[in-house]
Amino acid sequence: MFVKNADTADCEPPRARKLKTESDNCLAIAIRERDSEVAALLIDEAAKLARRSRELANKD
């Protein structure tokens, strides 16, 4: 499942957009995960990816 955010697709650098998509994908997998430890790891990874995506998007 690939998630796109149409509102920000045109103003983000390609790498930031890719990291945001990967973050969204991690969360989508985490919510279906039965093992809470694996879900927690996926959520942590999603947070890291989202943070880096925001950093790249905010660079001038």
Q: Per residue in 4-58, pLDDT tens?
A: 555 555 577 999 999 999 999 999 999 999 999 999 999 999 999 999 999 999 9
Per-residue model confidence (pLDDT) at position 2? 40
Per-residue model confidence (pLDDT) at position 1? 42
- C-alpha span between 39 and 19 (Å, rounded): 19
Neighbour-count burial for 4-26, b at 16+ CB within 10 Å, e otherwise:
eeeeeeeebeeebbebbbbbbbb
Domain ranges of the chain: 14-58
Question: What's this model's pTM, rounded to 2 decimal places?
Answer: 0.78
